[in-house]
Structure 1
Amino acid sequence: DKIKIDKSFTQNMTTRADCAAIVQSTLVLAQGLGMHTTAEGVETDEQYRLLRLAGATSLQGYLFSRARPLCEIDFDVTHERQGIEDAA
């Protein structure tokens, strides 16, 4: 139902062409299949911007928050960045 992009690819996509190609190919495949995607390990604004432009539907990572129990997450704050469907 959903394709997750491992943080090892997300975190290296701006410095390694092979990682960028894997991320882009995965997003194109997911779009072609009508599937949602979650990119893990988003830590920088550049990663955020590139992934959103490439069509990632959900993003996770320290850019939004460190891992914590669900009951401690303020979803109003996590959705402040425009276009994020799922940042938890």
Structure 2
Amino acid sequence: MSVKERLHHLIEELPDTDLLVAERMLRGLMVPPPAPEVAVTRHRPSPEEQRASTARLRAAMKGRVSTEAYLREKHEEIDREEARQRERREGMAT
């Protein structure tokens, strides 16, 4: 039995109340492919373009905090805050 025949068989078994839902689902699968003039083509940059792009990004990021430095600062802040809270709890207990 082919796939088409199995689908026809399944549709025949569906209750009438579900036929509209099944039709909408099947129509949703029939989206036409985009026209060639609309389809986006992936431009692969040349090595020179890639190097220039990398240089621009590096220049733009110069002087910015690195992810590692940012995370290190945040962890240090958390450690300091936890130490302050610990000292407060110990001070309240005595």
Same fold by TM-score greater than 0.5: no
TM-score (norm: length of structure 2): 0.24
Which structure would you say has the larger Rg?
Answer: 2
* Structure with the higher helix share, 1 or 2: 2
The answer to which structure, 1 or 2, has the higher relative contact order (CA under 8 A, 6+ apart) is: 1
TM-score (norm: length of structure 1): 0.25
